[in-house]
Amino acid sequence: MRSAPARHLISLRDLSDSDLQGIVQRGAALARLAADGTPLASGSLAGTVVGIYFTKTSTRTRTAFSAGALRLGAGLTTYGAQDLQTNTGESNEDTGRVLSRMLTALVARTAGDPAQMRAWTDQNRMAVINAMSADEHPTQALADLTTMTLHFGAVDGLRILYVGEGNNTAAALALALSRYRGVHLELRTPAGYGLATDILESAVAQARANGSVVHERHDLADLPTGLDVVYTARWQTTGTSKPDPGWRAAFTPFQVNSALMDHARKAVFMHDLPAHRGEEVTGDVLDGPASIAFPQAENKMYSAMAVLEWCHGVW
């Protein structure tokens, strides 16, 4: 059904501003249709086949793309960590060329170097979508922006505090929010666990060009006021471990609890989930009236549907 070359999404830096914001707006539109009770079985991906390849655990992202593809009329095939012949020595490039003759898109989570996914893009028939690599979680950020759009009406001008590790979720959030105007993203990360230098520099430069601010420091002193969102993520990112056995001591002050939320009285709370209650967030915050973490999780499906449509050239 595709007449144009496949569109890949390995990093948010692969997207133009209009494409990024278009995906967010389409995800929000699908969420609104669902809220109104409109069936989402549009058939826009009828005749396509989406592959789901996850080498690491996933609840939300895998389900979001699987359910979203089915709702759009796509066929679905899944692979586990040991299923592809790359395990027996086939090159990533050859694997990509073969799969591209049978699939129209491949959604992949490796939690490792994104070079493997880049190798799969050595063809123009099958879209490749990064469902999380070690350095970036682009589809999470698109779901986050979809959630902010639904809650606030727009992303421009929002003030967001991110607390916790500068992991792939934080990296994607910085790269995405910096594409909007008048946004202030304040990242507070433990020393030694901040954003990668190249990610931070890229986000800061992009923000400056849009009249926005991306700022990181390694304590919780002098927090900004007038916050719209407080965001955190699990301290132990999927597929990773920390070499320092005492790392928890550095993270403990960065817990999102009622005291921190009292500082941000008008802010909503967001979390990419899964949550470890009592570690990065207390249960009273996660379950409290300010939390939109579970609607945020649902929005991953609508955002995934928008990504799939974009990658297939539906709009």
Distance set, CA 276 to CA 61, 237, 251, 256 (Å): 18, 11, 13, 11
- The residue assigned the tokens 């095939």 is 77
Residues 111 and 136: their CA atoms lie apart, in Å, by 9
Distance, CA of 297 to CA of 58 (rounded, Å):
12
- The three-state secondary structure class of 166 is coil
Provide the strand spans (E) within the chain.
49-54, 75-79, 105-109, 127-130, 159-163, 184-188, 213-217, 229-232, 268-271
Cα distances (angstroms) measured from residue 175 to each of 13, 84, 107, 139, 284:
7, 31, 20, 12, 30
- DSSP strand pairing (229-232 vs 159-163): parallel
Render each residue's pLDDT in the chain as its tens digit; 315 residues: 555 788 999 999 999 999 999 999 999 999 999 999 887 777 999 999 999 999 999 999 999 999 999 999 999 999 999 999 988 999 999 999 999 999 999 999 987 788 999 999 999 999 999 999 999 999 999 999 999 999 999 999 999 999 999 999 999 999 999 999 999 999 999 999 999 999 999 999 999 999 999 999 999 999 999 999 999 999 987 767 888 889 999 999 999 999 999 999 999 999 999 999 999 999 999 999 999 999 999 999 999 999 999 999 997
The whole-angstrom separation of Cα 164 and Cα 98 is: 40
Residues paired with 291 in a beta bridge: 269
Query: Hunting for tokens 């060329």 — which residue is that?
Result: 97
Return the half-sphere exposure (C-beta side, CA atoms, 13 A cut-off) of residue 263: 14
What the chain holds in terms of domains, given with CATH numbers, is 12-136+300-311 (3.40.50.1370), 140-297 (3.40.50.1370)
Residue in the structure block whose two tokens are 């079985």: 41
End-to-end CA distance of the chain: 13
- Residue 105 pairs in a beta bridge with 50, 127
Classify residue 163 by its DSSP letter. E
How high is the pLDDT of residue 239?
65
Alpha carbon distance 16, 22 (integer Å): 10
Do the beta carbons of residue 228 and residue 160 sit within 8 Å? yes
Cβ 234 vs Cβ 275: under 8 Å: yes
Q: What contacts 306, CB < 8 A, 6 or more positions away?
A: 23, 24, 26, 27, 30, 142, 146
